[in-house]
Amino acid sequence: MLHSGDLSFSFSGLKTAVLTLVREQDEPLTDEFRANAARAFQDAIVEVLVKKSLKALKQTGLKQLVVAGGVGANKQLRSTLNIEAKNKRFAVYYPELEFCTDNGAMIALAGCLRLQSGTPSKPAGSFSVQPRWPLMEMSAKGAM
């Protein structure tokens, strides 16, 4: 993932690797094994996120990075990015921890607002994907 040459990332392969490692254990998992696996998993994710973020800043020439979503609450990620920001002279911004929520919660809110707006519904089981749905189209009445 680090050497893909692009800025995309997916952790499905990493999750599969951990699952395979766990399944290959012949003995019951010890607390030490679980802790080491969790630490290695987190280290790998933080490394990818930091390196891809730095690459994005370099490619764009930007000097500001905004971290959002649930991952923004990760202390190791924040610490590593803060060190890199100081060393490489860029600004990094994070929401307050209480606002670092899972993206699923944001999608649920968007769905609720769309439902309240009176957007015509489709038959059960069908929907139209709208990845760039402008939330500003929602009326103030529908938002509350």
Provide the pLDDT for residue 6. 75
For residues 116 and 143, is the Cβ–Cβ distance under 8 A? yes
- Residues 63, 90 contacting (CB under 8 angstroms): yes
**How many of the other CB atoms lie within 10 Å of CB of 76?**
13
pLDDT given for residue 120 in this prediction: 61
| Cα–Cα nearest to 100, from 77, 68, 78, 76 | 68
pTM of the predicted structure, to 2 decimals: 0.68
Closest CA to 14 of 49, 56, 57: 49
Report whether 54 contacts 62 (CB < 8 A). Answer: no
Judged against a pLDDT cut of 80, whether residue 32 lies above it is answered with: yes
Average pLDDT over every residue of 51-63: 94
Domain boundaries, the chain: 12-99, 103-143
Residue 88 CA to residue 80 CA, distance in Å, equals 12
- Is the pLDDT assigned to residue 119 strictly greater than 70? no
pLDDT digits (tens, 9 = 90+) for 68-111: 888 899 999 999 999 999 999 999 999 898 888 777 777 777 77
CATH level 2 (architecture), domain 12-99: 2-Layer Sandwich (3.30)
